[in-house]
Amino acid sequence: MKPEQYIARLEKLEGDRRNWDDHWQEVAEVVFPHRSDFTKEVTRGERKNVKIVDSTAVNANELLGAGLHGMLTNPASKWFKLRLTDNMLNEDPNIKIWLEEVERRMYIALNSPKAKFSSHIHELYLDMTAFGTGTMFIGEDPVTGDLNFSTKHLKECYLAEDSQGFIDTVYRKFEYTARQVVQKWGIENCSKGVQEAFKKDDMDKKFVIIHAVQPRADFIHGSLARKDMPVASIYILREEKHILEEGGFEEMPYVAPRWSKVSGETYGRGPGISNLPDVKMLQEMYKTVLKAAQKIVDPPLQVPDDGALNPVKTVPGGLNFRRAGSDPITPLQTGGNIPIGASLLDEVRQRIRSGFYIDQLQLQQGPQMTATEVLQRQEEKLRLMGPVLGRLQSELLGPMVERVFNIMLRRGKLPPAPEVLADAEYDIEYVSPLARAQKQTEANSLLRVFEIGSAIIQMQPESAQVFNGEDTIRWLATDIFGVPNSLVKSAGEMEQMKQQQLEMQQLQQGLATAQQGADVLETVNKMG
Residue pair 298/334 in contact (Cβ under 8 Å)? The answer is: no
Collapsed DSSP state (helix, strand, coil) of residue 68: helix
Which conformational region is residue 116 in: left (phi greater than 0), alpha (psi within -120 to 50 degrees), or beta? Answer: left
pLDDT for 504 equals 83
Burial 17-26 (b: 16+ CB within 10 A, else e): beebeebbbb
pLDDT tens-digit readout, 26-47: 999 999 999 999 998 877 777 7
pLDDT for 292 equals 83
pLDDT tens-digit readout, 94-122: 888 899 899 999 999 999 999 999 999 99
Q: What is the pTM of this model?
A: 0.81
Of 520 and 135, the structure prediction assigns the larger pLDDT to: 135
**Which pairing describes strands 80-84 and 157-161: parallel, antiparallel, or unpaired?**
unpaired
Residue 380 has pLDDT above 80, yes or no: no
Does an H or E element contain 129, and which? helix 117-131
Residue pair 110/119 in contact (Cβ under 8 Å)? The answer is: no
- Domain spans of the chain? 3-41+49-272, 489-528
Q: In the 3-class helix/strand/coil scheme, how is 210-269 assigned residue by residue?
A: EEEEEECCCCCCCCCCHHHCCEEEEEEECCCCEEEEEEEECCCCEECCECCCCCCCCCCC
pLDDT tens-digit readout, 45-64: 777 788 899 999 999 999 99
Distances (CA, A) of 312 to 288, 317, 323, 479: 26, 12, 14, 76
Among 53, 72, 125, CA closest to 272: 125
208: which DSSP letter?
A: E
Phi, psi of 253, deg, nearest 5: -80, -20
Average pLDDT over residues 301-312: 67
CA separation for the pair 156, 184 (Å, rounded)? 19
Distances (CA, A) of 465 to 378, 409, 460, 462, 501: 32, 45, 10, 6, 21
Q: Which long-range contacts (CB under 8 A, 24 or more apart) does 282-286 make?
A: 282/54, 282/56, 282/57, 282/345, 282/348, 282/349, 282/352, 283/30, 283/51, 283/52, 283/53, 283/54, 285/341, 285/344, 285/345, 285/348, 286/53, 286/54, 286/345
Distances (CA, A) of 392 to 165, 253, 255, 397: 14, 16, 10, 6
CA separation for the pair 201, 309 (Å, rounded)? 70
Among 360, 260, 275, CA closest to 56: 275
CA separation for the pair 172, 241 (Å, rounded)? 15
Q: To the nearest whole number, what is the mean pLDDT of the chain?
A: 84
Average pLDDT over residues 306-332: 69
Residues 6 or more apart whose Cβ sits within 8 Å of residue 238: 7, 10, 173, 207, 208, 209, 210
Q: Which long-range contacts (CB under 8 A, 24 or more apart) does 219-223 make?
A: 219/248
**Which pairing describes strands 231-237 and 242-249: parallel, antiparallel, or unpaired?**
antiparallel
Confidence of residue 363 (pLDDT cuts 50, 70, 90): low
pLDDT tens-digit readout, 443-472: 667 777 777 777 777 777 777 677 677 777
488: which DSSP letter?
A: S
Residue 163 has pLDDT above 70, yes or no: yes
Residues 6 or more apart whose Cβ sits within 8 Å of residue 195: 187
Among 55, 61, 58, CA closest to 345: 55
Distances (CA, A) of 6 to 167, 249, 398, 494: 18, 18, 29, 60
Among 411, 477, 486, CA closest to 446: 477
Beta bridge partners of 254: 137
pLDDT for 368 equals 62
Of 396 and 492, the structure prediction assigns the larger pLDDT to: 396
pLDDT for 336 equals 67
CA separation for the pair 38, 51 (Å, rounded)? 15
Residue pair 107/15 in contact (Cβ under 8 Å)? The answer is: no
Residue 364 has pLDDT above 60, yes or no: no
Among 397, 379, 525, 506, CA closest to 447: 379
